[in-house]
Structures are given as structure tokens and as C-alpha cells.
């Protein structure tokens, strides 16, 4: 089945540093999504990407949909303590009988003040 490989698995950074994480797949997705999950909470959507090559920003977050539709990256600039959490990429395809999100295993971000 479809799987997403997300890296790195965890990151420890200093406040103010920039962060980069990525996600790759062996198969194509119509849509790539990036979620953040805080402890005890459900995932919250950060950025959605719909077109190959699309680059989208949301405040200090920037994400890009790879040209091949098999990868995506998420960058966070000037990290702050509230950026701590687990970041998940997810792929979604249109049509078919599923309509389900395929999630990566997550990147755990820790920020040292």
C-alpha cells in the first residue's frame, strides 16, 4: 500500500533557528497536507497543497508540493517555543472508494528557548 516517508524523525533546535522537514512517497498524490499535533490534541491543518510545484506560505511556515507529486517539504522560519509538537505530512487522492488521508510517521520538533 501507499506509504509516506517523513524525515527527520525528530529535531532539537534553538529558538530562532529555521526548520526544514520533508516527506516522500513511492506513489503520486493529488493533494499534500501538513498537520501539527500537540499533546492530547487532534491534528490541526497548517498548509494544503493542490498543484504540482505549488509553493504556499502561512505566516512563518512555507511548504512546497514536488513537481513529481511524490514529495513535499515544510519549512518553519525563526522558530519559537510554541512550534513544539509533532508535524505530520499526509497525502490524499481524489476519486476511488477511499478518500482517506495517508499520514507519515511524523517529525517531533523540540525548541530550546
Partner 1 sequence: DAGVTQSPTHLIKTRGQQVTLRCSPISGHKSVSWYQQVLGQGPQFIFQYYEKEERGRGNFPDRFSARQFPNYSSELNVNALLLGDSALYLCASSLRLAGSNPTGELFFGEGSRLTVL
Residues that bind partner 1 (CB under 8 A): 1, 4, 6, 30-31, 35, 40-45, 48, 50, 88, 90, 92-106
Whichever of 15 and 50 has its CB closer to partner 1, that residue is 50
Report in angstroms how near the CB of residue 15 gets to partner 1 at its nearest: 25
Report in angstroms how near the CB of residue 32 gets to partner 1 at its nearest: 12
24: Cβ contacts below 8 Å, ≥ 6 apart: 4, 5, 70, 71
Angle at 105 between CA 99 and CA 107, to 5 degrees: 125
110: Cβ contacts below 8 Å, ≥ 6 apart: 10, 11, 12, 13, 84
Report in angstroms how near the CB of residue 104 gets to partner 1 at its nearest: 5
Whichever of 42 and 113 has its CB closer to partner 1, that residue is 42
The maximal CA–CA distance of the chain, rounded, in angstroms, is 46
Whichever of 50 and 110 has its CB closer to partner 1, that residue is 50
Amino acid at each position: 500500500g501507499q506509504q509516506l516517508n517523513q524525515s527527520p524523525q525528530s529535531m532539537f533546535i534553538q529558538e530562532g533557528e529555521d526548520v526544514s522537514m520533508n516527506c516522500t512517497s513511492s506513489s503520486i498524490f493529488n493533494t499534500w497536507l501538513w498537520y501539527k499535533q500537540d499533546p492530547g490534541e487532534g491534528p490541526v491543518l497548517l498548509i494544503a497543497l493542490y498543484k504540482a510545484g505549488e509553493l504556499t506560505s502561512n505566516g512563518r511556515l512555507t511548504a512546497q508540493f514536488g513537481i513529481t507529486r511524490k514529495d513535499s517539504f515544510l519549512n518553519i522560519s525563526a522558530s519559537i517555543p510554541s512550534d513544539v509538537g509533532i508535524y505530520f505530512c499526509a497525502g490524499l487522492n481524489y476519486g476511488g472508494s477511499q478518500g482517506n488521508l495517508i499520514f507519515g510517521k511524523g517529525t517531533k520538533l523540540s525548541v530550546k528557548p
